[in-house]
Amino acid sequence: MAAPSGTTWGSTVGSKGRIGLYTSLSSTNTETTLTVQIWFWSKYSVSDSNNKLYYDNLASSGKASTSKGEVSINTTVATGSGWSTSNQKKLKTYTKTYDRTTSAQTRYLYAKLSGIDVVGGTMSVSKTVSIPKLPTYTIKYNANGGSSTPDDQTKYYGKAITLAKAISRTGYTFQGWGTSASDTS
């Protein structure tokens, strides 16, 4: 199985291997789910166990320091001069759901893989993703002949908002804001 298009690959280590991160986001109006896949890719065949995987999903810059256990790797393409996608192996998948807020949230993703004898070094990769803010709507006021039209307001999906104060218009009593100039409800 080949890594999905859009996978971010770390630097090649020992001219033989690297790891990658594939991310996908799915959102509703109030939540966003982040799915992260960690991939290994070797230039030649690898059959190795007891490799240590580290992964962190952080709110600020950092590094991969949380152990996620050991992984075994077995790839089979041993010849050729290029990187065969047959030698890509998905190591782990992590999913986390975030509540969307009034600001976008940046997540810093880090993965590290060590202990693969044929590669001879520690491979790492990092990527940032943005969890979108809540959808917004603009409330535009029309004084409908009254004075002092209020400024526009931003309304966030699912969040309460206090509408602008009443306006004055000679000969009329303010009954509240409507959704059209002819609203009488």
Give me the phi and psi of 47, to 5 degrees please: -135, 100
Strand stretches in the chain, DSSP E: 8-9, 17-27, 31-42, 46-58, 67-75, 88-99, 105-114, 123-131, 136-139, 153-156
Phi (first) and psi of residue 67, to 5 degrees: -70, 135
CA 14 to chain centre: 30
The pLDDT profile of the chain, 185 residues, written as one tens digit per residue, is 899 999 999 999 988 899 999 999 999 999 999 999 999 999 888 888 889 999 999 999 999 999 999 999 888 887 666 788 999 999 999 999 999 999 999 999 999 999 887 788 899 999 999 999 999 999 999 888 888 889 999 999 999 999 888 888 888 888 888 888 787 76
